[in-house]
With several copies, the nearest count.
Chain A
Amino acid sequence: MKLVRDFKVAGYKWLNESNFIIELQSAEDLPPIHPGNFAEIQVPGNPNVFLRRPFSIYDCDLTYNTLSFYVKIIGEGTATLGKLKQGDTVNLIFPLGNKFDTETEGPVLIIGGGSGIAPFLLLGKELKEKGIPMTFLVGGRTSGDVHLTDVFGQYGDILITTEDGSQGTKGMVTHHPVIQEESFPFKKIFTCGPDPMMKAIAEIAKQKSVECEASLENTMACGFGACLCCVVETTTGNRCVCTDGPVFNIKELAW
């Protein structure tokens, strides 16, 4: 059941000047939220933002009816979301999209680039509940792009790469020893981040014959299957990222 509902801004946690977590609270109970789900947030009070903006659900608390979003400021909409005041009203359509498939044997590798780590907290929680061990591989341009390792550290190992070598291994996530080395103990990869990164990971997953799911981004007008703007090419033709995704098994993608 998808809902359109007003939330109130409950608070912010700023990670640095361009990354923040915003917590929104609903007066009513929340429906079940699954790892991979996203919401379409209506950005209030900015004349230059007409359509809603899609964001992965970073965290949810069914006791207090809160949803949290990890937002990286890249334009007007995200900047405005960072400037609201506690108690301001924000309208959401949620929960949208499909979910990660956590039916897997043995350990998994979770690879996030930049704000691509957003959907992985809920994933981590579900995997932990199922007793599936996980390793997070987090990449950024520089150490300033690597956030929340303390939070994710509660669920599994944390491996880091930065392009400038300011933290962890120097290079892209795909250069990390965990991927480069012969031995690869993981049964499944989950990834979210820039397209080129996910494509490179998909390539590696194919070579290693390991299951891989990628959470895709796309420019969306609606977020719930009405406009057909958000397609990705799959082996069965163009499909909507907002309804058939955002999570796709890479075998389905025409990458």
Chain B
Amino acid sequence: MVNLNVNIGALKLKNPVTTASGTYAYGEEFSDFMDISKLGGIFVKGLTLHNREGNAYPRMAETASGMLNSVGLQNKGIDHFIAHIFPAIKNSGTQIIANVNGSTIEDYIAVSEKLNELRGMEAIELNISCPNVKEGGMAFGINPKSAREATEAVRKVYKKTLIVKLSPNVTHIDEMAKIVEDAGADAVSLVNTFLGMAIDAEARKPILSTITGGLSGPCIKPIALRMIWQVYNAIKVPVVGMGGIMNAKDAIEFILAGSSAIQVGTANFVDPAISVRIIEGIEEYCDRYGVKDVNDLTGSLKI
């Protein structure tokens, strides 16, 4: 028997496979396709202080081995989540982790304070890397000073496990990771989407209503892997890795590069049951190589 339990700070996951914010809604959408209680955890769709309608249509463009989205954090706000959504999913048998967004530091604080009080949720993911909002979001995550400020501010009010989600749209991701670690993060997650653009050559127009959007999917995997490797070697707190994971082999690569847990994102759209198969595949891999504990794989790349 392989041990698949992993800890991200004080957050205990029954296995390293979780689903990425914004790609798994609130989990229930997948219950027809798979047993969601098998997951290590679910990072639910990004939350903001107030209701957000998100961006105008079109919000999606397919690209080579990937997609751009500019959803823009559509959600009904934190109070609605706490009152109506969380009660319905908190007993789904897996860890539910909120993805916290804000246009200002005050927003981040307000949402995090509410989640600090929320029983049954052990961790939050602080999203300072959303490329699809006019204010806040990625603007926090690509600037060392504001990344530090946001993390410190939330750390003051949030006492459970704080995971900070990093933007890949930076020159030195390892330095950003060190900054947020230093500012009190219990873990970092990466990568969020890359800022990209798609053009309709015939119409001579951008495809997305927002001109630019966030690139995800297997196309970004090589860059994501490199960043995880750099960050793993730069910090001490755990790394939650993602970016184009489509199958168990990809997940293993992210673990070898330094991820303690991984998130499955865009792959959920192509195959809504893929995350359970990734769990099985990791177990199989461990069995095949006599790995007793999946934690032994983390960062075990031979150089």
Contacts and interface: CB of A to CB of B under 8 A. Distances in A.
A221 B66 CA distance: 10
B29 interface: yes
B59 to A, nearest CB: 5
Interface stretch (B3-11, B168-176, B263-271, B295-303): B263-271
Interface residues of A, number: 31
A231 B65 contact: no
Contacts of A1: 32
A228 B71 contact: yes
A49 B45 CA distance: 26
Contacts of A2: 32-33
Nearest to B272: A4
A50 B29 contact: no
A229 B207 CA distance: 13
A3 interface: yes
B28 to A, nearest CB: 9
Contacts of A47: 65
Interface string A223-255: 111111111110001100001000000000000
A67 B36 CA distance: 28
A52 B270 contact: yes
Interface in B262-293: 266, 268-273
Contact of A93 (B56, B59, B272): B272
Interface residues of B, number: 35
A238 B272 contact: no
B53 interface: yes
A225 B33 CA distance: 13
A222 B59 contact: no
By secondary structure, the B interface counts as loop
Contacts of A233: 56-57
B61 A219 contact: yes
B206 interface: no
A48 interface: yes
B54 A238 contact: yes
B53 A229 contact: no
A4 B71 contact: no
B60 interface: yes
Nearest to A223: B269
Interface stretch (B17-25, B122-130, B188-196, B225-233): B17-25
Centre residue among A47, A49, A226 by max chain B CB count within 10 A: A226
Nearest to A75: B62
B212 to A, nearest CB: 15
Contact of A219 (B22, B60, B66): B60
B258 interface: no
Contact of A226 (B23, B53, B66, B273): B23
Contact of B268 (A218, A226, A229): A226
Contacts of B56: 233
A240 B166 CA distance: 28
A3 B67 CA distance: 24
Interface string A185-228: 00000000000000000000000000000000011111111111
A98 B291 CA distance: 45
A115 interface: no
B64 interface: yes
B64 A50 contact: yes
A225 B60 contact: no
A4 B33 CA distance: 7
B67 A221 contact: yes
Interface in B32-60: 32-33, 45, 51, 53-54, 56-60
B269 A222 contact: yes
A226 B24 contact: yes
B217 interface: yes
Which 6 residue pairs are nearest across A and B when measured between Cβ atoms? Answer: A229-B60, A222-B269, A2-B32, A225-B29, A229-B59, A219-B60
19 contacts: A50-B64, A50-B65, A50-B66, A50-B217, A51-B62, A52-B269, A52-B270, A220-B60, A221-B67, A221-B266, A225-B29, A226-B24, A226-B269, A228-B59, A229-B69, A230-B60, A233-B56, A238-B53, A243-B29
Interface of A: 1-4, 42, 47-52, 93, 218-233, 237-238, 243
